[in-house]
Structures are given as C-alpha cells and as structure tokens.
C-alpha cells in the first residue's frame, strides 16, 4: 500500500499488536485465536454487525477440531443441530421430487470417527459468527463496527492505518505491528498492495434464493438425508441447503437453461447461461425455485434474493511485509465442497500462534514468512479442488481438460501438509496432501487423533494441542520428555511433554498418558523410544522414529528450526521423518 495511499498525519490514537481488517468469519476467527494465544488485536468492520446471510454452512473436520480446541465445539454443535440434521447428506437430484443423479455423502459423518474426536457439522454462517464474536470478546478481543480501514502504510517497525468512523465521518490513526487483511474476496487491502489474483476467474454471476415453503419438503427426499441437494435440470443448475424444518432454506442457482447438449455450448462462447443474476426478478426466482423443487404450484414465499459471483482464484502471495491476507482475501472458491470459510479459519489458525511467538520474541520474524510457504500451496490446491467439484457437480461443460482429478474429502480436510523451513521433513518426498492413513505423523502433517487415557479420563491426542508445543514420546522415550522441557525453557517457549503408554517419569510436566490399545506408536510412526514434536496448531514439526542419543542437543536444534531462530544447525541429521 505504501506509495499509493496518502496518510494525513494525526496523533496516533491507538496502538495495538495486530489490526484485523474485516470482522466476518475469518476476521472474527483471527481475533479469537490471537487472544487464545494472548495477543491483543483490534478488528474493524464496516458493517453494523456480524453476517446477515447464512452463506457458509458446511464445516469440515479440521474447522470443528479448531473450534473444539478453543472450547466452542459444543456451543456450535448445539446451534447447528437446531438448524440442520447432524448427519445430513449431500446428494444430486433432477429436482427435490425427481430422480437421484448422485449421492456424494449419504451421511456427512459416516466413517469419520476413525480420524477425529469430532464430526463435521452444518451451521449457518450468520449463526456461527455471533458465537465466534462472543468468545473473542470474552477473551478480550476488541471489535469496532461501522469502521472502515481506508489506508495503510508500512514501515520497518509497523503499520499505520487510517480508520474512518462511518457514523460520523471522523478519521483516526492506529499503529499496529502487523495487519491481517480478512476483508473478503474484493479485498481493498490486497488491491492496494498490488497483489494479483490468478486462477479460473469468474465462473458465474450466481444468485441465492432464500425461501419458505408452505409444506414440508422433507418427504420429497424419500430416504435421502436432508442437507445439501445439487439440482440439475433443463431450467437450472445449483444446489439447495434445506434446514431441519424441511420448509425453509435456500437455493443457489449458478447456471440457467439447458446446456446438456454440446452443440448449444459450442454455439454460445460468451456462456449466457452463467449470467443468472442479470435482471433477476422475484417472478423469475419463483420459477427457478419451483423447477428445482419439482412440484408444480407448490406454495413458496421468496424472502430474499442475493446476487454474488462464483470465482475460483488464489492470490499470488499471502504476505506483503507486515500484512497477511487470510480467508477470501487470499483465495476465493465456488461453494461446492464448502471450502471457502473452512480454509479461511485454517489460515487464521496457522497465523495466530506464529504472530504470538514472534511478538513475544520467542520466535524469529522469519517464522511469519512460513505463513505464505505453508498456506498458499494449500490455498491453491483448495481453489483447484473446489473448481473440480464445481465442474463435476454443476458445470461439466467446462470439461476435464483444466480440471484436477478429485481428491477425496478426508485428504482435503485433514490431509494437507506443510513444507516450510519451520518443518523438518524428510526432504525428498513431501507431498502436499496425503490420506491420514498414509501420513501417520509424518512431519508437516496434522498430528493424528488417537484416544488415550489421562487421569482416568478419555482424551484425544488432539485435546493436548492448541496452545503450546507438545512433545509426545513413546513408552520408553522418557529421556525425550525431560530434554524437551529443558530445551523449551532455554528458548522461552511453553512446551508440554508426555510419555505415551509407558510407566512415566515424574517431571515431564503433565500426567502421562495411558494407551491400552497400543495405538499411539503406529498412528505416529514411531517406536517406543521415538518422539514427535507437535506445534501449537497441531501439526507435526519433527519426528524421530527411535532414540537418537543426545536428546537435549537435538531438541534444542529442533526448536530453533521450528521457531526460525536462525539455528538450523545440523538440520539434515534431524530429518528422520
Ligand atoms: C452461497 C454460499 C455458500 C457457501 N457455503 C460455504 C460452506 O458451506 N462452507 C464454507 O466454508 N464456506 C462457504 N461459503 C464461503 C464463505 O461464505 C466465505 O468463504 C466466507 O464468508 C469468507 O469469510 P471472510 O471473513 O474471509 O470474508 P467475508 O465474509 O467476505 O468478510 C469480509 C469482511 O470484511 C469487511 N471489510 C472489507 N473491507 C473492509 C475495510 N476496508 N474496512 C473494514 N471492513 C472491511 C466486509 O464488510 C466483510 O464483512 C459459501 C459462500 C456462499 C456465497
């Protein structure tokens, strides 16, 4: 932004470690997660409050795991179950009353218990955001509504932002060490930084029709679980999200008209069927809705029609010095697969602990550059996979030529991996994603879920992560635990160390964990003398399959690397992943 914005010098009214521009799903998540790590922030949002449209509804395993880690899983699930069936399905029909074309998820949660202590859920974004906001403010985050960030200027120590109060027009300056731009797919911050978007571009000018029906639509689904229902027929292509009552929800329309015949597609290169939003009237919306329901004359009331653009693009970089792009500002995807909001929450989760440790001096500033190194490849992959789902479920006329093969949902949700200087990987075989049955604690992957017992209570390994570094050692790995504590003390970072399944030693800073099923070593790919180090975001940063000798020296080097402290001494010998 420097060079393109003129800052009118006034007295800096406020200083804050992190300024968050945009207070929707991702901005609120960032505010919450930063406070979770003890970092103050100010979030500015130009609207008067949280989202007013349902938009995101399908929340993936990883996002629910993040919510669980900050104590929100139950509250979110309770709210979601008021709105949607907990095991809703995702399928494809000619119309709600018509023939089934495909059944993508007969039950949203079939088979997930092997991988996670939690399950996927549906909750509308306009119900989730107030829960995030309440938790963020409870933890001490500051939010300012009707406030727009109108300029940013970076220098070597921080960023000066000009904020406009949209109620009275007054301007003020805020000084921040870092800025998170969670300002949505049109991201003014990204534009002013000159960061370009690249990808498949605009796919359609879509609409969402919010409606109430005079009858329960549930029985039309027969034995299909209520949830998301893709519709393809000669009038339209899109999807329903039907709430639990069965007589309300929304219909997204991405394309109109019969484009099943290749000669029609070939005759109109300007793709007029993508211009759904142009000149949309209530009468036209009613026709489309009735065609999607498939029951002529069914009584329905249109409550609202929102227009929006389906786009599949990612930013060419996620960082400009002290400013980080997160959420739709960094990647914008069509809603197929429910990736947009989920990916944004995961961006905030990756960034929050890094900002906390850099701000408190425990980590080197280079740790922040790993945000782009880790999240952008995942964002790019997500853009492609959302595009693949858009093409296969909605717009097959776009063809398979520029489309990645479909990656299974579990691998997309919890199998993405990070390769960056802060992760000590094997170096020669570092795939960007892997099914969790394959990765098994490989450095760069999300640390696997295993049920253990602590103080006679069942805990998931995932319940140990979220705030501090965590060292998990095998049953005979007590030396790793003691060494890890010492190394962490020397670095000034908080670390919890646990011996899993062994007799335990007294001074490892946490009760040891029982593993009666002996599942932990195989799940984490180590022997009983090995250990793994897990970051505060629950990703494995280093693993030693067995005892390597000199545990204190090794762990000091590992932590130096994980914190980008300029160490990296002998990293190659640490690579056993
Ligand atoms: C129909 C539909 C269905 C969807 N379904 C799903 C789903 O099932 N799962 C899923 O994960 N995602 C889904 N999404 C996508 C999801 O809604 C978005 O990815 C998500 O809203 C992105 O959140 P964000 O905070 O990054 O951006 P936004 O929600 O766009 O918020 C950006 C905020 O920044 C504010 N802002 C912008 N500029 C400034 C400024 N200069 N100063 C102050 N404030 C500013 C804006 O007012 C806005 O509130 C769906 C989207 C649609 C349209």
pLDDT of res. 425: 86
Q: Is the pLDDT of residue 236 over 70?
A: yes
- Tokens 């393809």 locate to 232
Q: In whole numbers, what is the pLDDT of the chain averaged over residues?
A: 92
Percent of the chain surpassing pLDDT 70:
94
Of residues 313, 328, 334, the one with CA closest to residue 391? 334
Helix axes 61-69, 73-83, angle to 10 degrees: 130
Per-residue pLDDT tens for 163-189?
A: 999 999 999 999 999 999 999 999 999
Ligand 1: distance of its center to the CA of 103 in Å?
28
Distance of CA 175 to the CA centre of its chain: 28
Q: Is the pLDDT of residue 232 over 60?
A: yes
Percent of the chain surpassing pLDDT 90:
83
Known catalytic residue at 145: no
477 burial level (CB within 10 Å; 0-12, 13-18, 19+): buried
Q: ∠570-572-575 over CA atoms, to 5°?
A: 120
**Residue 1: band (very low, low, confident or very high) from pLDDT cuts 50, 70, 90:** very low
Average pLDDT over residues 240-255: 93
pLDDT of res. 443: 96
CB contact set of 357 (below 8 Å; sequence gap of 6+): 363, 367, 493, 563
Pairwise CA distance, residues 240 & 92, whole Å: 10
Pairwise CA distance, residues 228 & 90, whole Å: 5
pLDDT of res. 51: 83
Q: Beta-carbon neighbour count of residue 438 at 10 Å?
A: 12
Q: Is the pLDDT of residue 503 over 90?
A: no
Pairwise CA distance, residues 222 & 91, whole Å: 12
Length of the chain: 577
CB contact set of 419 (below 8 Å; sequence gap of 6+): 373, 374, 377, 425, 430, 432, 444
pTM summary value: 0.94
Among candidate residues 84, 104, 178, 230, the one labeled active-site is 230
Hey, whose CA ends up nearest to atom 50 of ligand 1? 56
Q: Residues enclosing ligand 1, CB less than 6 A?
A: 21-22, 24-27, 44-47, 55-58, 125, 148-149, 182-185, 188, 208, 252, 308, 327-328, 335, 338-342, 344
**Residue 570: band (very low, low, confident or very high) from pLDDT cuts 50, 70, 90:** very low
pLDDT of res. 428: 62
pLDDT of res. 2: 41
Per-residue pLDDT tens for 198-229?
A: 999 999 999 999 999 998 998 998 888 888 99
DSSP of 202-237:
EEEEEEEEEEEESS--GGGGTTSPSEEEEEEETTEE
504 burial level (CB within 10 Å; 0-12, 13-18, 19+): middle
CB 534 within 8 A of CB 447: yes
Per-residue pLDDT tens for 532-555?
A: 999 999 999 999 999 999 999 999
Per-residue pLDDT tens for 422-453?
A: 999 877 678 999 999 999 999 999 999 999 99
Per-residue pLDDT tens for 120-157?
A: 999 999 999 999 999 999 999 999 999 999 999 999 99
Q: Is the pLDDT of residue 360 over 90?
A: yes
DSSP of 369-382:
HHHHHHHHHHHHHH
Distances (CA, A) of 455 to 439, 458, 476, 569: 29, 8, 20, 38
Q: Beta-carbon neighbour count of residue 12 at 10 Å?
A: 12
Q: Is the pLDDT of residue 47 over 90?
A: yes
Q: What DSSP state is assigned to residue 331? A: E
Average pLDDT over residues 101-107: 91
């Amino acid at each position: 932004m420097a060079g393109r914005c003129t800052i009118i010098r006034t007295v800096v009214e406020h200083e804050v470690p992190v300024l968050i521009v945009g207070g929707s799903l991702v901005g609120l998540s960032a505010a919450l997660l930063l406070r979770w790590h003890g970092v103050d922030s100010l979030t500015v949002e130009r609207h008067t409050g949280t989202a007013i449209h349902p938009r995101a509804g399908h929340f993936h395993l990883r996002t629910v795991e993040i919510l669980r880690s900050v104590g929100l899983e139950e509250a979110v699930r309770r709210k979601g179950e008021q709105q949607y069936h907990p095991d809703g399905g995702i399928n494809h029909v000619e119309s709600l009353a018509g023939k089934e074309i495909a059944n993508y998820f007969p039950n949203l949660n079939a088979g997930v218990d092997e991988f996670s202590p939690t399950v996927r859920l549906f909750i509308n974004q306009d119900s989730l955001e107030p829960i995030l906001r309440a938790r963020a403010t409870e933890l001490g985050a500051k939010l300012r509504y009707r406030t727009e960030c109108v300029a940013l200027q970076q220098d070597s120590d921080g960023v000066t932002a000009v904020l406009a109060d949209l109620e009275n027009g007054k301007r003020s300056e805020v000084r921040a060490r870092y800025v998170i731009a969670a300002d949505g797919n049109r991201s003014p911050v990204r534009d002013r930084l000159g960061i370009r978007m690249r990808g498949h571009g605009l796919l359609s000018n879509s609409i969402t029709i919010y409606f109430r029906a005079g009858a329960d639509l549930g029985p039309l689904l027969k034995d299909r679980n209520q949830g998301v229902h893709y519709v393809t027929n000669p009038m339209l292509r899109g999807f329903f999200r039907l709430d639990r009552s069965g007589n309300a929800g929304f219909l997204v329309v991405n394309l109109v008209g019969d484009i099943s015949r290749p000669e029609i597609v070939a005759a109109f290169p300007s793709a007029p069927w993508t211009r759904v939003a142009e000149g949309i009237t209530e009468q036209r919306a009613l026709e489309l809705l009735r065609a999607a329901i498939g029951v002529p004359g069914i009584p329905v009331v249109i409550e609202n029609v929102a227009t929006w653009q389906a786009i599949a693009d990612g930013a060419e970089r996620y960082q400009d010095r002290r400013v980080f792009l997160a959420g739709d500002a960094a990647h914008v995807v069509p809603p197929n697969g429910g990736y947009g909001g989920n990916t944004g929450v995961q961006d905030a989760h990756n960034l929050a602990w890094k900002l906390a440790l850099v701000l408190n001096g425990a980590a080197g500033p280079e740790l922040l550059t790993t945000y782009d190194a880790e999240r952008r490849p995942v964002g790019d992959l997500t853009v492609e996979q959302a595009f693949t789902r858009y093409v296969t479920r909605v717009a097959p006329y776009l063809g398979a030529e520029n489309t990645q093969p479909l990656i299974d949902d579990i691998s997309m949700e919890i199998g993405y991996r990070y390769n960056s200087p802060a992760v000590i990987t094997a170096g020669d075989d570092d795939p960007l994603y892997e099914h969790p049955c394959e990765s098994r604690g490989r450095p760069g992957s999300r640390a696997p879920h295993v049920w253990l017992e602590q103080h006679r209570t069942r805990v998931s390994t995932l319940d140990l992560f979220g705030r501090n570094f965590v060292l998990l050692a095998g049953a005979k790995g007590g030396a790793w635990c003691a060494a890890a504590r010492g190394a962490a003390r020397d670095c000034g970072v908080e670390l919890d160390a646990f011996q899993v399944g062994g007799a335990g030693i007294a001074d490892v800073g946490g009760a040891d964990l029982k593993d009666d099923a002996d599942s932990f070593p195989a799940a984490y790919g180590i022997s009983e003398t090995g250990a793994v180090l897990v970051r505060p975001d629950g990703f494995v940063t280093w693993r030693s399959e067995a005892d390597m000798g000199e545990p204190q020296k090794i762990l000091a080097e590992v932590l130096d690397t994980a914190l980008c402290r300029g160490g990296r001494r002998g990293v190659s010998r640490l690579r056993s992943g």
